[in-house]
Amino acid sequence: MILVALGSNLPGPAGSPRQTVERALAAFPDAGIRVLACSPWYRSAPVPPSDQPWFVNGVARVAFAEGDAAMLLARLHAIEAAFGRRRDGTRNAARPLDLDLLDMDGMVREAAPILPHPRMTERAFVLVPLADVAPDWRHPVNGLGVAALIQALGATERLDRCP
């Protein structure tokens, strides 16, 4: 199972943050990424807390048969760039599009791209939509299911389902 997180908190060439994540998802097939399922969209406060606009977030379950994790991540970065993302090294900056490779068939990698995504278990805006598309998913390192990971977070983040 391959899982990709989508997020946006700035308008970009595709429009509002919600329009951006929807149009980015629609661009996946042209990059050789087949969308199998997508969660509902959620609004979330920035993490760590800041005065940035709220994010629109979701998770897609996808298939990618054309290469390895590095190639898939390169395709995701190319989609980000097409939607106005500029990587300047600033962590947690506001952005028109953020695509993160969360898991690729349970692979564990300590070199780039690091898998599973190293901070995914700390983020409700990742785990809650992940549970929508893969409720039986288990973390490949610690073995915990997504429901247990969500429960372990407690109420640390504000997350609302988009209408």
95, 103, 136, 158: the catalytic one is: 95
- H or E, element range at 146: helix 146-153
Catalytic member of 61, 75, 100, 123 = 100
Answer yes or no: 123 catalytic: no
CA distances from 98 to 66, 75, 151 (A): 22, 13, 25
Q: Is 100 a catalytic residue?
A: yes
Catalytic, out of 75, 85, 103, 123: 85
95: annotated active-site residue: yes
CB–CB of 94/77 below 8 Å?
no
Residue 143, Ramachandran bin (φ over 0: left; ψ between -120 and 50: alpha; else beta): left
User: Coil, strand, or helix at residue 113?
Assistant: coil
3-class secondary-structure state, position 93: coil
Indicate which residue of 61, 98, 103, 123 is catalytic.
Answer: 98
Chain-centre distance for alpha carbon 85 = 14
Catalytic residues: 85, 95, 98, 100
